[in-house]
Amino acid sequence: MSRVCELTGKGPMTGNTVSHANNKSRRRFLPNLNEVTLISDVLGQSFKLRISAAALRTVDHRGGLDAFLAKAKDDELSAAALKIKKDIAKAQAAA
């Protein structure tokens, strides 16, 4: 499993660990990923996604998975999230 958020595309960053003596050694900053189940109101279905804690707060702030995916850029989404977005758009067009 890659350490990348499926909704925001947030991945590992690199930087330095700096000691008290100002010695620098390379390190990785990993995103805070959680496996969550989000429910789509339009599709009436639940989806398991591996997303960052910040993305989960943003989903809640925007009013759910459907509203988040409507505003999300396609290049940031994973293949699974992109398929969910297209299914939601198709269901909304039919309704």
Under a CB-based contact definition with an 8 Å cutoff, are residues 55 and 8 in contact?
Answer: yes
Is 43 within the bounds of a domain? yes
- 2 inside domain: no
Does some domain include residue 78? yes
5 belongs to a structural domain: no
Range of the domain at 31: 13-94
Q: What is the mean pLDDT of the chain?
A: 96
Bridge partner list, 46: 39
Please check whether residue 69 lies inside any domain of the structure: yes
Our count of domains for the chain comes to: 1
pTM of the full structure: 0.88
- Interval 65-75 mean pLDDT: 96
Q: What CATH number is given to the structural domain containing 34?
A: 2.30.170.40
Burial label for 29, CB within 10 Å (0-12, 13-18, 19+), is exposed
Residue 61 has pLDDT above 80, yes or no: yes
Tens of pLDDT, residues 5-50 = 999 999 999 999 999 999 999 999 999 999 999 999 999 999 999 9
